[in-house]
Every structure is written in C-alpha cells, then in structure tokens.
C-alpha cells in the first residue's frame, strides 16, 4: 500500500513575498519599518526566514508617505548591498493623485542607477472603490476613494516596465481585473510566465473579495487558461492564513506582512515571524520556500 | 408516492424587467426602440408578454443618446397613459460625465410633474472599468472608460431618490459592489425590501462577471444575510438565458431586453419576444410573472 499526497502542488517551491510596511501605523504593532534602514533590517530577516521578495513603501521617519524617488533609490541601494532578496517597490497610487508618468517616476529613476533597477513593480489592473466602512459605527470612514486604473494607464505601466527591465506584478482585486489580466496576456503586454497577485480586502475595506478561503476560491474559478503565469495572494488589512492555505494547496504563492495586517492574534510579531510561519506551514504541504534565484527562474526573469 | 419540486423558489412570482434599448444600435436587430413612441410601443407589448418593469434610455431619432430631461418626461407621460408597467429610466452615467446632481436631474425633474415620478432608478454601487476588449483583433476598442461611482455619490443618489419617492435599483458588477450594497443596507441608506440587480458583462465588456451561470453563481455566494431584498440579473451584451435559469431556480428575478443583447441566435426578436420566452421558461420552474402591483408588493413599494 502506498501513500500519495493529495496536495496538487506537492513539491513545488513557494514564492514568499514580504509586504513589510505599506502605510500601516505602529500603534498596534511597533515592528512596522518606516525608514530605509528599518526596511533593510526587516527584509534581511525576512530573507533568512524564507522570503524571496520584499514589497515596501517609502515612508518618512514619522511614518507618513514619502514619494521622493531618492528615498526609494536609497532603500534599493541599501537592500542590494545587504541581501539578494528581490525588490518590489510600490507605485504611487491611491495616495498620490498624479499622472501615469509621475506614478512610475521612482521606478524609472531607480532603473537609471547602475545596479538599482527594481526587480518588480505592481500594476493594479482595474478600478475599484477602496473606501473604508466602519460596521460598528455604521458609517463610511472615507467615501470618495475610487482607485482608478484604466487599461490605458495599465498598458503604459506595462510597456515602460518592460523597457526598463522591471517585472510587473499584476494585481487583481475583482474578477474583472483578472479578465483584464487575461486580455493583457493575449495582447502581449505582459511577458510569460507572468506574475498575478490576488488582493483580498477586509477590516471594512470593501474593494476586493473578502479575505477568506472562499474569497480567494472565487478568484481561482476565473484563472485564465492557456497562458503561463504564477499567482499569489495577499489580504489587505486581513489575516491571510486561511487564503494562504488554499494557495499552498493549489500551487499558488503567498504575500504576507505587517504592511497588510498587524496580526494582533500573534501578539506583536515581526515581518520575519510571519514569513517563518508561512514557510513552516508550506513544509506541511510539501513545499519549500523558493530562493530569489528560484523565484527568477519560476517567473522567467533573465 | 408524492412528487415534490426541487426548485427552491417554486411558486414564487418572478419580476421580469424589460431593458428595451440602452444605447444598442439597430444594425443587428431593427426592433430596438429609439423614440418615446417606439419605447411605449415596445413597453406595452412587453407588459402583455409578462414584464412588470420597463428600463429605458432616452435617445434621439437617429439613436444617439439624448440627455434632455424633457425627453425622459415625455416618455414617462406616454408610458403612464398607455400601461401600468413600472418605469425605470436610466441615470446619466458613462456617457454623461457630470455632477451627481446632473446625473439625477431628469429623475428629479420628472418627480415634480404630477403623476410622473418614475418608479425606479438605478444606482451602480461601485466602480469598475467598462472598456471593451476585442479578442479577435487583440486590442482594446476603448481604454479610458473607468465607470466611477464613489460611496458618496451613491449615498447622494439614495437619499435624493428616497426624498422624491423613487425606488433605487442597486446594480452590482463585482463582489465589492455587493459588499457596498450590504453596507448601505446596514447604514439604512436603502429601504427594505431592497432591489439588487447583478450586471454580468460579455462580448468583450470585462467590467463584470462573465455572462454565464457560473458568473452569476459567484455573485450569489456573497448575498448579504439578515436583510430583506429581491435580486435580479441582466447580462450586458450577452445572452442571458443561462443566468436566467439560475435566477428562476434560486428565487431571483430576470432583466432582459434588446438593450443588453440583440439575440441574433433568435433571428431578430422583439423585446416582447424575449420577455415571453422568459415567462414561458419561468412556468417550467413553477413561477408566474409578477404583475406591476405584485412587484410593488414584493418590493414594499407603497
């Protein structure tokens, strides 16, 4: 009698992306990194714990958003000196209402510095409202935050990123985002294997699917067929461990960090603590963390 | 031995809404009504075939969009004189980039005329891109049509409609729209029983779920619990008969018409032909068409 794992993805390496800070405050968890040095320290620890990619937002020492390309470049320079972790800076998006060119400015600027081209940058491939609802107070905390990304804008980002050698992370909040991702693959605007990230949303953020296994499952029913890509999942302001289990089972990847959710369930964990838990959970599914080099191979990055 | 229907909604009346024209051209099907008189003629035939609600867009004799409140009012006056069908004019939306007040202007103007208050008006309760992809040419036909409806705008529409006595039709394109619909119910911005319409999208329109039974099923998995509402389904530029079967089975309602899809599969049917087919299909599910009066009762309209 032989046993055989029922995990479809048994043996496949898992890409763990550490989403270290976003614009999360420190009031619930003091381990959210703000400055370039803090981001580097967190990223190095995450790399040791199993992460292959670091996603970060540049912030001022007081935690407020910092949109200066120089701060992004300083962070990349220090990250590259300290670690082989792959680098995925954010774009200027909800917090920076500006032109397509301006939203990509820090990525393009960094790519002009020798050795400092970011490995990835995200493209949110659709539009949705990202306002926050407070169910306890029965009121909207914000009510005008339409997060608008037209196909024209997304195509611009994809072309410019290809020109400067940055791999896009196509981010899908709803099923129409995934349909547009498929159209972009058909139009040849994204190189294959592509990288697709499902952004679930919770804690009153209503712009994505709920941050549950069911919420991710509804996305997976619309995975494009006939194209090569890897997919991952994160949960904005929600506990990711449910959806992460589905990703581990189904051959997806995992993007977790204090930027998305401070994990008070675990006390005040660090980003590396979260990465380590995912790596350990992955082991039970027969999946080991992909190194940065293995991640580049999975995603066809030269 | 006794037989018992397995249809959960067996015996429940079905509200059939005729979506007679939108901005559909006549090149595939000449039966799309443009002028007020043509709309009235189509609506009367639809009412006889089983429809309880008529949704229409005012258009010029050449078919182009007409945003003049007077044309909307003329149509309502003629409809009320000819039929008891409930009236659901569109809002000025994608084609009319203007203020919230302007988008609702024809509704408010009509409500000031004795006996001409529309019964319904739609509120698309979220944002999505409504561009059209051409899979044959592998190109976007449009690439800047973000359809933006912030919670602030939607709340304004809901409050004004309540003030003037118009019942909102909350339209959901994606799961976040349904989450916002639930928040609006919790906030008391929509009277119960509310009316929710799932807008599927097809033929290269990527802004909703695919126009399939599966596409509707993914919506139904997120139906809000603990509130009173009725739900319906339409498919923008897609054949509705698959999703309509699921709606008939599950106790939902059906919104069909040449405005959404010209149904070349059926030759050149009229709007009433489509309504009749749905009514006949409903009979097989043990469901008869709701009259306008029964529709008002189902939706708690005084």
Q: What is the pLDDT of residues B119-175, one digit of tens each?
A: 999 999 999 999 999 999 999 999 999 999 999 999 999 999 999 999 999 999 999
Is B16-298 a domain of CATH 3.20.20.70? yes
pLDDT for position A115: 96
Which residues of chain A are modeled with pLDDT < 70? 1, 92-97
- DSSP states of B112-165 as a string? TSTT---SEEEEE-S-EE--BEETTTTEES-S--EE---HHHHHHHHHHHHHHT
8-state DSSP, B199: E
The predicted pLDDT at position A9 comes to: 87
pLDDT digits (tens, 9 = 90+) for B9-21: 889 999 999 999 9
* Phi–psi pair at B55, nearest 5 degrees: -105, 130
Average pLDDT over residues B183-189: 98
Question: How much is the pLDDT for B94?
Answer: 54
Mean pLDDT over the full length of chain A = 95
Distance CA B84, CA B105 (A): 24
Name the token pair of B205: 């329109």
Per-residue model confidence (pLDDT) at position B3: 76
Q: Does B210 touch chain A (CB under 8 A)?
A: yes
* pLDDT tier at B218, thresholds 50, 70, 90: very high
Chain position carrying tokens 């194209």: A227
Closest-CA distance, A208 to chain B, in angstroms, reads 6
The reported pLDDT for the residue numbered B99 is 87
Measured between CB atoms, does B148 come within 8 Å of chain A? yes
At residue A235's C-alpha, the angle toward residues A32 and A122, to 5°, is 80
Query: What is residue B154's predicted lDDT score, i.e. its pLDDT?
Result: 97
| Cα–Cα distance, B57 to B89 (Å, whole number) | 6
Average per-residue pLDDT for chain B = 95
Compute the distance between CA of residue A207 and CA of residue A204 in angstroms, rounded to an integer: 9
Measure B254 CA to nearest chain A CA, in Å: 22
Chain B residues in contact with A180 by the CB 8 A cut-off are 129, 133, 206
**Residue A6's pLDDT is what?**
77
Q: How far is B158 from chain A (nearest CA, A)?
A: 14
**pLDDT beyond 60 at B55:** yes
Neighbouring residues of A114: CB distance < 8 A, sequence distance ≥ 6:
none
pLDDT at B35: 97
Q: What is the pLDDT of residues A7-22, one digit of tens each?
A: 888 899 999 999 999 9
CA distance A146 to chain B (A): 6
Query: pLDDT at position A97, please?
Result: 65
pLDDT recorded at residue A144: 94
Residue B143 Cα distances to A30, A148, A204, angstroms? 42, 12, 30
Query: What percentage of chain A's residues is helix, strand, coil (to nearest 5)?
Result: 35, 20, 45
Do β-strands B139-140 and B146-147 pair in parallel, antiparallel, or remain unpaired?
A: unpaired
Summarize pLDDT for B62-111 with one digit per residue, the tens. 999 998 999 999 999 999 999 999 999 998 665 556 788 889 999 999 99
Record the pTM. 0.96
Runs of H (alpha helix) within A87-196:
100-111, 151-164, 175-186
**Residue B97's pLDDT is what?**
65
Answer positive or negative: Cα dihedral of B22, B23, B28, B32: positive
**H or E, element range at A278:** helix A271-284
> What's the half-sphere exposure (Cβ side, CA atoms, 13 Å) at B114?
0
In chain A, residues with a C-beta closer than 8 Å to the C-beta of B181 are none
Q: Per the CB < 8 Å rule, is A129 touching B145?
A: no
**How far apart (Å, rounded) are the C-alpha atoms in residues B179 and A208?**
9
* Rg from Cα positions in chain B: 18
Question: For chain A, what are the domain ranges?
Answer: 16-298
Interface of A with B in 128-147 (CB under 8 A): 128-129, 131, 133, 135, 138-140, 143-147
Which has the higher per-residue pLDDT, A210 or B6? A210
CB B121 within 8 A of CB B89: yes
CA distances from B202 to A98, A246, B207, B261 (A): 32, 29, 9, 10
Do A300 and A192 meet the contact criterion of CB atoms below 8 Å apart?
Answer: yes
What number of H helices and E strands is found in chain A?
9, 12
- Provide the 3-class DSSP secondary structure of residue A14: strand
Q: Which of A128, A170, A199 is the best residue to mutate to test the B interface, defined by the most B CB atoms within 10 Å of its own CB?
A: A128
- Test B186 with A135 for CB contact under 8 angstroms: yes
């Amino acid at each position: 009698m032989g046993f055989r794992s029922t995990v479809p993805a048994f043996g496949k390496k898992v890409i763990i992306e550490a989403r270290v800070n976003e614009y999360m405050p420190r009031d619930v968890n003091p381990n959210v990194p703000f400055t370039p040095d803090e981001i580097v320290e967190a990223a190095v620890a995450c790399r040791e714990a199993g992460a292959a990619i670091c996603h970060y937002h540049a912030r001022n020492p007081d935690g407020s958003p910092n949109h200066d390309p120089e701060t992004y470049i300083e962070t990349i320079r220090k990250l590259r000196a300290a670690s082989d972790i792959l680098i995925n800076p954010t774009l200027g998006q909800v917090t920076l209402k500006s032109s397509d060119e301006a939203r990509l400015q820090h990525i393009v600027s960094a790519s002009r510095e020798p050795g400092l081209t970011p490995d990835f940058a995200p493209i949110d491939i659709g539009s949705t409202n990202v306002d926050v609802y407070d169910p306890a107070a029965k009121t909207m905390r914000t009510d005008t935050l339409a997060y608008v990304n037209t196909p024209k804008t997304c195509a611009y980002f994809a072309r410019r990123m290809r020109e400067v050698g940055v791999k896009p992370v196509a981010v899908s909040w709803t099923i129409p985002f995934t349909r547009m991702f498929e159209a972009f693959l058909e139009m040849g605007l994204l190189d294959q294997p592509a990288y697709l990230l499902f952004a679930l949303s919770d804690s009153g953020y209503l712009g994505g699917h709920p941050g549950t296994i069911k919420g991710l499952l509804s996305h997976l029913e619309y995975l494009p067929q006939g194209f090569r890509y890897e997919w991952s999942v994160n949960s904005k302001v929600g506990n990711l461990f449910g959806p992460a289990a589905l990703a581990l089972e189904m051959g997806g990847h995992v993007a977790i960090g204090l930027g998305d959710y401070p994990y008070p369930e675990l006390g005040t964990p660090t980003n590396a603590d979260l990465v380590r838990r995912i790596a350990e959970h992955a082991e039970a599914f027969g999946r080991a963390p992909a190194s940065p080099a293995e991640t580049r191979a999975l995603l066809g990055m030269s």
